[in-house]
Structure 1
């Protein structure tokens, strides 16, 4: 079973979420929005499920909450780090 676990981990690493360089000012904004608004994680998973099913599963498994800000979905991991997951033009 251990090789399967390792294989899944490699697959997730290949699905890297977009650039993690989230400026501190944006982190504070996202924290504020997330504290006031409903969690949008299920929405993000649903949006990605058809076009990027593997990324959808990764979001579902890896993040504790998601929010929307200025055309992008951002999700937060257990270490309270925000990640840009999907943007729309």
Structure 2
């Protein structure tokens, strides 16, 4: 005899209530990541915001911008993966 599993009921109910939030989060994260990866060094040189905060940015002075880009790529990949999995439901 199969036992009642409350987790299945919980996840089904919460999915029905929260899917718009999750989809919106994935889409927003994808858009922000795509735009931020599209910025170039020339854009940074022309930006007033970057110039005002350049002395505070230690990461680029030490040459550690590469792990941040890998993280951004990972976020983009996970967002796209979640969108693909949502569309296949």
TM-score (norm 1): 0.25
More strand by share: 1
TM-score (norm 2): 0.25
Which structure's CA Rg is the greater one? Answer: 2
